[in-house]
């Protein structure tokens, strides 16, 4: 009985530990928020034998005496563009499948009433993220965005960010051993630091009703379960403005009608500006 209990506690510990490292639910409309770009030239190391994690190259240690030796160094090595695949940047990486480490430094302004998220629009195919020497998250899937909150992990000056990227094919994953597209590897889309209020709009859906031509359905979700928070939905061209309050789950839902609403069609691709605040 004691052994079973120990195994159960151990399993729960690992589940909680792993869940802390997995990337969080993606924030919607990142490109409409206050962001700091981390795109540009990143230092890179080709890790042919997957020894980087064992050697803790994410610590980026420097020799302090004549007897110190570190096999890996980001300085004076490869420089790769982000966003981009690595295959098209250097001839020797065209067919490369394996691990490459990316690294860069950055400064950021910290504010007591703001939160900071490290956002990756896509990394192909699986990655582990390290900030200032600590693993803060991981992700699998080369075409999906993800973010990790770093509010308490960053400092204002000289943050060191390292990303371990691997595009190795396996028989039980996508891509598998045989497929009909190029197996790109790298940080293939934008990298941002996203600055938000302590409580912010995490997700929303503003949709035309399937059955009624003049009806609009709206759902807004806050980042926290905060009730009675005012949410405003506005469509200026239609002179529509709705104010609603969140429920105990931090969500607000409404439906309303719009006069002279023109639906999108291939022959008349009408779009409306929608403001959610």
Q: Could you state, in order of their start, the residue ranges of all structural domains in the chain?
A: 23-197, 201-276
Q: Which two tokens stand for residue 40?
A: 């540009």
The answer to whether 257 and 214 have CB atoms below 8 angstroms apart is yes
pLDDT for the residue 22: 57
First to last CA, the chain: 54
57, 238, 240 from 275: Cα distances, Å: 45, 12, 10
Looking only at the bridges linking them, the beta strands covering 99-106 and 134-140 are unpaired
pLDDT for the residue 65: 79
Residues shown for the chain? 277
For 23-197, CATH gives: 2.60.120.260
**Cis omega (within 30 of 0) for bond into 162:** no
The answer to whether 42 and 188 have CB atoms below 8 angstroms apart is no
Residue 267 φ/ψ region, left for φ over 0, alpha for ψ in the -120 to 50 degree band, beta for the rest: alpha
Residue 139 φ/ψ region, left for φ over 0, alpha for ψ in the -120 to 50 degree band, beta for the rest: beta
| Predicted confidence pLDDT, tens digits, the chain (277 residues) | 444 443 443 344 434 434 345 556 789 999 999 999 999 999 999 999 999 999 999 999 888 877 777 777 898 889 999 999 999 999 999 999 999 999 999 999 999 999 999 999 999 999 999 999 999 999 999 999 999 999 999 999 999 999 999 999 988 887 788 877 889 999 999 999 999 999 999 999 999 999 998 999 999 999 999 999 999 999 999 999 999 999 999 999 999 999 989 989 999 999 999 999 9
Domain 201-276, architecture per CATH: Sandwich (2.60)
pTM for the whole structure: 0.86
């Amino acid at each position: 009985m004691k052994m079973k209990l120990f195994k159960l506690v151990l399993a729960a510990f690992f589940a909680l530990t792993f869940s802390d490292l997995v990337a969080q639910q993606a924030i919607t409309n990142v490109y409409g928020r206050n962001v700091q770009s981390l795109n540009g030239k990143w230092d890179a190391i080709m890790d042919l034998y997957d020894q980087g994690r064992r050697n803790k190259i994410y610590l980026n240690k420097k020799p302090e005496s004549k007897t110190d030796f570190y096999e890996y160094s980001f300085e004076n090595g490869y420089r790769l563009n982000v966003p981009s695949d690595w295959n098209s940047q250097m001839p020797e990486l065209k067919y490369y499948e394996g691990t490459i480490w990316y690294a860069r430094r950055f400064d950021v302004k910290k504010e007591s009433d703001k939160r900071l998220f490290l956002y990756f629009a896509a990394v192909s195919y699986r990655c582990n993220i390290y900030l200032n020497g600590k693993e803060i998250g991981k992700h699998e899937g080369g075409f999906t965005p993800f973010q990790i909150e770093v509010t308490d992990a960053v400092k204002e000056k000289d943050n060191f960010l390292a990303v371990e990227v691997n595009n190795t094919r396996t028989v039980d994953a996508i891509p598998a051993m045989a497929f009909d597209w190029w197996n790109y590897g790298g940080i293939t889309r934008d990298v941002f630091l996203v600055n938000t209020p302590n409580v912010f709009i995490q997700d929303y859906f503003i949709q035309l009703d399937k059955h009624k031509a003049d009806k609009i359905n709206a759902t807004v979700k806050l980042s926290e379960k905060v009730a009675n928070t005012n949410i405003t939905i506005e469509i200026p061209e239609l002179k529509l403005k709705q104010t609603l309050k969140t429920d105990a789950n931090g969500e607000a839902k409404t439906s309303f009608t719009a006069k002279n609403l023109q639906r999108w069609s291939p022959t008349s691709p009408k779009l409306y500006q929608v403001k959610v605040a």
